[in-house]
Structure 1
Amino acid sequence: MILSSFFNNILFLLCVSPLIGVFLLLLIPAEEKTICLNLALVFSCISFLLSLLLWVFFDPSTSFFQFSKILFYFSNINFYYFIGIDGLSLFFIILTTFLIILCILLSWQSVTFFIKEYLIAFLVLEFCLIQVFCVLDLLLFYIFFESVLIPMFLIVGVWGSRSRKIRAAYQFFLYTLVGSLLMLLGVIFIYFQVGSFDIQILTACSFTFSAQLILWLSFFASFAVKIPMVPFHIWLPEAHAEAPTSGSVILAGILLKLGGYGFLRFSLPIFPLASVYFTPIVFTLSLIAIIYASLTTLRQIDLKKIIAYSSVSHMGFVTIGIFSFNTQGIEGSIILMLSHGLVSSALFLCIGVLYDRYKTRIIKYFGGLVHVMPIFISFYFFFSFSNIAFPGTSSFIGEILVLLGCIKINLTLTFFMTFGVILSAGYSIWLLNRLSFGPLKLTHFYWHQDVSRREFWILFPLTLLIFWMGIYPFSFVSEIHFSVLNLLDHATNV
């Protein structure tokens, strides 16, 4: 009986576990840094194990929401705190809980002040992100979607690595908030039209074509900034450059996926006519992002900005896959988002390793690291080739599915997308060559240290997961397939 109750409440326990960690951290004196770190790590591991149990007991043969539960409700205004997951949200939750563990492990030595507050910010961020992926109420989705900004604003602004961190934090906050205000107007309009925020009810509703156009644009303003799409990407490189390594990991690994998830959960199924109508604009902006961001990456001198601009390029593939309106494209975009969450996080971790040692990210100071940091370069070599979608890695599966989905609708678009793949290989191999090979530069660095044991065990699981997704993608695709079919049924039934 107890075991059955536990299985029925796994998602609820996952939702509250970060909050329990926050409550216990508040009771511990800030001077007890080791206790705070261990406690945060324990609760992040509990959240991760609970998310794995969701995967174990998830039924991939249905497209209905599973582990659903109404936490509380106000029937007089038709408001329900309703949680549940399907194939679209399952792996994003697992990715969130996994990356939070890595962020806390990174904090063991790199964060030297306000450690308790830093850990609380990450656990609150984890709670908000889990809610974004599991709430089945539009208003609650918006609340948690925006609540993510608060801890992330503090992480960048307080624990950032350089002098422009306050400016970067405000830029990140204002860009994303302004776009989301339009979405709030759309949410209010929907409630007065339908009388409910329930996602399942909204999916079954039929809005007029003109209403769909307006609502789609209001949601697009928020999701496009989060991804980010060109020209709404200006905040991203600056935020990455100023954020601590853990902040960059969670920003690239999870926060950039919120926009793509929003398109899949709301734009396509609720506003299908508008989604089809605006598809050419989305394709145009995405293609510009792929080419422009790749060319801009080649001109960067800051290691973090190189990875940040490459993320803009990769997310261009994601948006094209989402709006391809076929199974291969949408499944490829989801796999590519998950892959990017692993690969970009790994690359930012590698840059963080270099910054911790040398306190600079300017590429001209590095060279010949293969002679003194062979283990580090081995990891970086693998992650660089994963970033260019080398066969056998997770990104290859995602990009090939997106390209197959795109071929079905527009051959010219597919051709220019492959040009973006070539540019991606160009800047990734160029950066790898500059860091790894050539003469060892001793002008500025007089000592070198390879990865520590802690850093090795942070990078090694990412390597295994990228390999696993690249070699056996069926274990992931099978879980999302029926949810994608259900999404397409709503998006094409117009």
Structure 2
Amino acid sequence: MSGFPILSIMLAVPAIGAVACYLASAQAARWIALIATLVDFVLGVVLWASFDVGGAQWQFVEHAQVFGQFGWALGIDGFALLLIMLSVFLMPICIGASWEAIQTRVPEYMAAFLLTEVLMIGTFAAQDLLLFYIFFEAGLIPMYLIIGIWGGANRIYASYKFFLYTLLGSVLMLVAMLWMAHSAGTTDIPTLMRTDFPLHAQYWLWLAFFASFAVKMPMWPVHTWLPDAHVQAPTAGSVILAGVLLKLGGYGFLRFSLPMFPQASAYFTPLVFGLSAVAVIYTSLVALVQSDMKKLIAYSSVAHMAIVTIGLFAFNPYGIDGAMMVMLGHGLVSGALFLCVGVIYDRLHTREISRYGGLAINMPRYAVLFLFFTMASVGLPGTSNFVGEFLSLMGTYQISTWIALLCTTGIILGAAYMLYLYRRVVFGDLTKDDVRAMTDLTPREIALLAPIAAVVLWMGVYPESFLAPMRADVAMLVARVAPAAPPSDSRPTAGTGPRTIGAAPVAREEAH
């Protein structure tokens, strides 16, 4: 793969597809979008197969000078690889989910989704600070349009709230980036990750980046845009929002906050832990009382992403491994749950939980798949979320027993609201005539849900496939932040030495 610009091609395919969709008829646009996303998925598989686990930290690097210090600089490490794979895996599923649900302005809709794919991949692959910012912020535009044009009755309010929250949070980050570029004399992200910024500057820089990433995650209390956005977005919009766009905040912490500002990250760890613990408990309790299925799953997303933040700021391999696994697992499971909601919404055109009941009788295939994803969301052993949550909480326990205890209650509360939702929708007597008339999953809907179920099971049964590509990157990140790690209030010291989960630590040379 040396010299082959696979990352640029992965950006070009959906970009060209978006233009073609815009100029095509509705049915042609559907096929163009599906083919473009499937081609990108195949390229993603090639990318993963060609990734050298024991090789250089940055692989598939591309550099082209544009003007001044700004350049077209792409490259990936293990973290970026896995998140790009998550993106290209979910995109064809989103196109399939929109095949019949979207009937108005179809070419524009498909073009917006393909543009979203371009910007997501670009964000994860960018190695230039300003290029990252362009991709990171431009991702707002197509999702804003998807919610505002093809969303529900209150879509305008939700789209403006989504746009303003995420944009305002990123203004401070842009100022911080400009200062960093001036101070370090470069916009190269790998170089900045090794730069030791002055301690007094780290605090302000960390807060500026936090303002953006906390909204993207979203962390409590800047999470209020998420339920509105999910409820109003079309099904595929909710899938990609929960599946990938929420992960941009976690990726930002991994790529910027922790390696570039390690002392400030340690200083603000109590703040992150406190907000995360509140989020796990508060949003789980709020989810318990929801009457709208989408809103319930949206609040559960806030609780799950709080497990990500505590893992990232545990300053040890278990926590960071777990945080990445939760991001991947949550991306798959929450996307599948929104698809499950979309299946019955397309039939009855309501998301009110009280309107359903007894679906196990006339929709048995749906009931089985919905149960599988419900159990995965709860963290059943053998599924993706169990691995991530276990590792994340184990890493957190090594630095704070109290935060680990508080956040573990999220698993109990998660079981309460997800099983309560499942019981009310699937079990009980089939008394309503319109519910009795609902048909079971079509072959198209099975084709959308089955691949997600297979990967969720794969992650739970053999997580090494996903831990191996990022193991050396986790080790390098821990080596960077460990000297600044805050003191632990717990007795275990297992996280202070080399890790032995899965395989021996892998040494990786740095690519400049």
**What is the TM-score when the length of structure 1 is the normalising length?**
0.96
Of 58, 71, 80, 2:64 maps to 71
Deviations along 1:436-488, one digit per CA (max 9) or x if unpaired, are: 11111316545111111100010000110000000000011011100111112
User: How far apart are 1:9 and its partner, in Å?
Assistant: 2.0
Whichever residue aligns with residue 79 of structure 2, its letter is L
Give secondary structure in 1 for the equivalent of 2:98.
Answer: helix
Matched positions, count: 484
Match of 1:466 in 2: 456
Between the aligned partners of 2:433 and 2:155, the Cα distance in structure 1 is 28
Given that residues 203 and 490 in structure 1 are in contact (C-alpha distance below 8 angstroms), is that contact kept between their aligned partners in structure 2?
Answer: no
- The aligned runs of 1:50-129 (5 Å cut-off) are 50-62=43-55, 64-74=57-67, 77-129=68-120
Amino acid corresponding to residue 339 of structure 1 in structure 2: G
- Distance (Å, rounded) in 2 between the aligned partners of 1:264 and 1:39: 35
State the partner residue of 1:47: 40
Partner of 2:294: 304
How far residue 291 of structure 1 moved from its aligned partner, in angstroms, is: 0.2
- Which of 133, 145, 148 matches 1:142? 133
3-state SS of 1:460 partner = helix
What's the counterpart of residue 215 of structure 2? 225
Give secondary structure in 1 for the equivalent of 2:411: helix
Specify which of 380, 390, 393 is matched with residue 380 of structure 2.
390
Partner of residue 252, structure 1: 242
Matched, 1:175 2:175: no
Write the deviation string for residues 289-310 of structure 1: whole angstroms up to 9, x where unpaired.
Answer: 0000100000100000000000
* Match in the other structure for 1:33: 26
Contact kept, 8 Å, 1:368 with 1:439, in 2: the verdict is yes
1:264-279 map, 5 Å: 264-279=254-269
Which amino acid is the alignment partner of residue 137 of structure 2?
Answer: E
Amino acid corresponding to residue 43 of structure 2 in structure 1? L
* Structure 2 residue corresponding to 1:263, chosen from 248, 253, 261: 253
> 2: distance between equivalents of 1:407 and 1:492?
16
The sequence identity of aligned pairs, in percent, is: 47
Q: Map 1:86-485; keep pairs closer than 5 Å.
A: 86-160=77-151, 162-442=152-432, 445=435, 447-485=437-475
Offset of residue 15 of structure 1 = 1.8
Alpha-carbon distance in 1 for matches of 2:227, 2:292: 10
Offset, 1:25: 2.4
The whole-number CA distance in structure 1 between the counterparts of 2:337 and 2:435 is 22
CA distance in 2, matches of 1:344, 1:61: 32
TM-score when scaled to structure 2?
0.93
Superposition CA RMSD, Å:
1.2
Q: Following TM superposition, by how much is the alpha carbon of 1:27 offset from its aligned partner in structure 2, in angstroms?
A: 3.7
Structure 2 distance, partners of 1:112, 1:16, is 27
1:203-228 superposed Cα distances (whole Å, 9 cap, x missing partner):
12111111000000000000000000
Given that 1:63 and 1:486 are in contact with CA atoms closer than 8 Å, whether structure 2 keeps it comes out as no
Q: Is the 8 A contact 1:270 1:491 kept in 2?
A: no
User: Which residue identity is paired with 1:385?
Assistant: M
Gaps of 5+ in 1: none
- Contact 1:223 1:262 (C-alpha < 8 Å) held by counterparts: yes
Would you say the 8 A contact 1:79–1:196 is kept in 2? no
Deviations 1:403-436 (A, max 9, x none): 1111211112111122111111111111111111
Per-residue deviation, residues 88-110 of structure 1 (Å, max 9, x unmatched): 11011011111110111111110
Determine the C-alpha separation between the residues in 1 that align with 2:220 and 2:431: 37
Q: 1:335 offset after TM fit, Å?
A: 0.6
- Secondary structure at the residue paired with 1:108? coil
Q: Which aligned segments of 4 or more residues in structure 1 are displaced greater than 4 angstroms?
A: none
